[in-house]
């Protein structure tokens, strides 16, 4: 006996439900259903300023543009700890560090820009010879005002 339309429909519906449950879990994780990853550095772009008149910094500086993500619904504050490293071809690394207090409304992706003064090494490739790490620590909710 061949399966009825009802049997095929029920089997298809359960397959779709199983597929969607995996997707929904991934979306929930991305949106911060887990305790970690609620306020993160999503992207960093390392570059040299094009000139003193065109923006922050001087030609000897390295500028890092950072996209943050607050994946929680409430306003969050924290401290961003950043490290820029110059270590071409396995040479000993030079490092520059910065920290900053940050705050973002819930569900937003603000952008920040930081200047690492005198970090450019003549003849180096930007961003190729540089590495950047950042982490948001001491994350806490901010009282609504």
Residues 21 and 55 in one domain: no
Residues 42 and 22 in one domain: no
Give residue 35's pLDDT band: very low, low, confident or very high (50, 70, 90): very low
Give residue 123's pLDDT band: very low, low, confident or very high (50, 70, 90): confident
Residues 102 and 124 in one domain: yes
Q: How many domains does the chain have?
A: 2
Look at residue 33 and tell me whether its pLDDT is greater than 60.
no
Full residue range of the structural domain in which residue 126 is found: 37-141
The reported pTM is: 0.67
pLDDT single digits (tens) 41-83:
999 999 988 654 445 566 789 999 999 999 999 999 999 999 9
Report how far residue 125's alpha carbon sits from residue 129's, in angstroms, rounded to the nearest whole number: 5
* pLDDT top residue among 33 and 128: 128
Residues 14 and 75 in one domain: no
Residues 59 and 128 in one domain: yes
Residues 136 and 87 in one domain: yes
Residues 15 and 41 in one domain: no
Residues 1 and 42 in one domain: no
pLDDT of residue 53: 45
For 50-145, where are the E strands, in sequence order?
Answer: 62-70, 76-86, 94-104, 111-116, 130-141
Residues 18 and 72 in one domain: no
Report how far residue 80's alpha carbon sits from residue 27's, in angstroms, rounded to the nearest whole number: 25
């Amino acid at each position: 006996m061949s399966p009825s339309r009802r049997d095929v429909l029920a089997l298809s519906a359960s397959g779709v439900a199983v597929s969607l449950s995996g997707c929904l879990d991934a979306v929930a994780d991305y949106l911060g259903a887990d305790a970690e990853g609620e306020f993160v550095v999503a992207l960093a772009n390392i570059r040299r300023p094009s000139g003193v008149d065109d923006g922050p910094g001087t030609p000897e500086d390295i500028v890092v543009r950072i996209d943050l993500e607050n994946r929680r619904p409430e306003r969050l504050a924290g401290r961003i700890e950043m490290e820029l490293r110059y270590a071409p071809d396995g040479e000993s690394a030079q490092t520059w560090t910065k920290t900053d207090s940050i705050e973002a409304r819930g569900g937003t992706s603000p952008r920040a820009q930081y200047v690492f003064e005198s970090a450019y090494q003549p003849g180096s490739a930007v961003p190729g010879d540089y590495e950047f790490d950042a982490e948001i620590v001491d994350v806490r909710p901010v009282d609504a005002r």
